Amino acid sequence: MRRAAQSANRRLLGLALTLVLLLGGGCASRVPSEIIYAAFGASDSVGIGAVPLKQGYVWQIRDALDRQVEDVRLLNLGIPAADARGIRDVLTLALRSGLRPDLVTLWTGTNDVIAGEDPDTFETHLEAILELLTEETEATIVVGDLPDLTMIPRFREEPNAFVTKARVDAFNAAIQRQVSRYEVLLVPMAASPVASQCVSSVDGFHPNNAGHRKIANLFLKVILPAIGLSDGV
């Protein structure tokens, strides 16, 4: 009886060790060997304000991934002056063309605020974007909310009737709701104060090189742990 019990215990121990090894191997395999990275946004995504443009935050995210991942392919689908409706259209076309990214960054809302768009209309387009991404892809989806646009030099010097703290808060509430609904990741831009030294002196609006670096780091602090990479940025 005792020998039988000992034999059973050894078999159970062997099974437990096998499971540990398998689970350990599974954890290690979470680190990707290749990433297709698709970036959606407006002029900031393109790199406007950075010199050269490839110092923009999207490119900096790509470069950070490239230091840890063997094969990183970037599709920068940013469109200058794009609003959420325009990004929805670009995404629809990209998916029809076969785009299936592993990682998506989305930063939208600023142009909608400035243009006087209704927050509910913006939310409808954002919802459609996230629905398409979650249904059509298996990507890690990372969405930025909006900083306090009223503190950007352009709007401090020339106030815009549409650019108010209340409207920015309403847009951020919409972003929070849809991020929660679709269980995607949020980059809390709203929690990071706008610093004048991070804004281009050319137009007082777009981020300069320091601003793009700050944005990239905020995104990377969310992205890297989510995909199993070192988050030292």
Overall average pLDDT of the 166-192 stretch: 98
Q: What is the pTM of this model?
A: 0.86
Burial zone of 2 (CB within 10 Å; 0-12 exposed, 13-18 middle, 19+ buried): exposed
Distance separating alpha carbons of residues 190 and 149, to the nearest angstrom:
9
Distance separating alpha carbons of residues 68 and 70, to the nearest angstrom:
7
- Give 103's pLDDT tier (boundaries 50, 70, 90): very high
Q: What share of the chain is helix, strand, coil (3-state, %, to 5)?
A: 55, 10, 30
Distance separating alpha carbons of residues 148 and 166, to the nearest angstrom:
10
Nearest residue to 215 via CA among 27, 60, 34:
60
| Cα Dmax for the chain | 88
Q: What is the pLDDT of residues 25-67, one digit of tens each?
A: 334 446 688 999 999 999 999 999 999 999 999 999 999 999 9
